[in-house]
Structure formats: C-alpha cells, structure tokens
C-alpha cells in the first residue's frame, strides 16, 4: 500500500494532467458551442441566461393592505418589513386601522 506522501504526489501529478487535458479541450469545446449557437440562432434568453423568464414577467404582484396609519402624516404601513420611524418601538395598537 502506498504511503500518504506517495499518494499526495500522485494526486498532484493527476491534478496537473487534469488541468492540461482541460486546457487542451477547452478551445475545441468553445468553438463547437459557438458554431452551434450561430447555426441554430440560439440566444442567451433561450438558455435562460441574462434575461428574465416570461413567467416571471407575467406574474402579478399582490399588494398587501395597510394595517397601521400614522394619524399625524397619514402614512400607512402593512406590518411587513422594517417598521417606519413613526411606529418603531411604539405600541402598534394605537395605530391600527
């Protein structure tokens, strides 16, 4: 059975071989991909990259009804997220709509 030191040396040699093989194949693979993109007219949106999907654009956002109102300014807050200054640290029952 090989020693720990020998196994580390083998791993280092394998990592060098892996990187060399990757470097050698990289240009060929990129050229092949570019050729197919050009031939088929593939866009970044087709691949789901760079552009929002159509389903995300069509999804409506529901607004939340306000639960609290500032009697001085008339400002409202839904109770979600960071509380505004006018209600922060105060009893919220006094501001309930």
Q: Containing domain of residue 93, as a range? A: 62-97
Q: Do residues 4 and 44 share a domain? A: yes
Q: Do residues 9 and 51 share a domain? A: yes
How many Cβ atoms are within 10 Å of 87's Cβ, its own excluded? 17
What predicted TM-score, i.e. pTM, was given to this entire model? 0.41
The values of phi and psi at residue 17, to 5°, are: -65, -40
pLDDT, tens digit, for every residue of 29-61? 999 999 999 999 998 888 888 756 555 567 777
Q: How many domains does the chain have?
A: 2
Q: Do residues 47 and 26 share a domain? A: yes
- Looking at residue 9, its pLDDT comes to 95
Q: Do residues 36 and 76 share a domain? A: no
Closest CA to 80 of 63, 97, 61: 63
Q: Do residues 46 and 68 share a domain? A: no
């Amino acid at each position: 059975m090989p020693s720990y030191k020998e196994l580390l040396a083998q791993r280092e040699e394998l990592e060098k071989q892996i990187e060399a093989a990757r470097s050698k194949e990289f240009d060929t693979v990129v050229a092949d991909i570019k050729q197919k993109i050009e031939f088929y007219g593939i866009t970044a949106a087709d691949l789901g990259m760079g552009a929002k999907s159509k389903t995300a654009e069509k999804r409506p956002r529901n607004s939340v009804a306000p639960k609290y109102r500032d009697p001085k300014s008339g400002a409202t807050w839904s109770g979600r997220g960071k509380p505004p200054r006018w209600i922060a640290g105060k009893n919220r029952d006094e501001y309930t709509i």
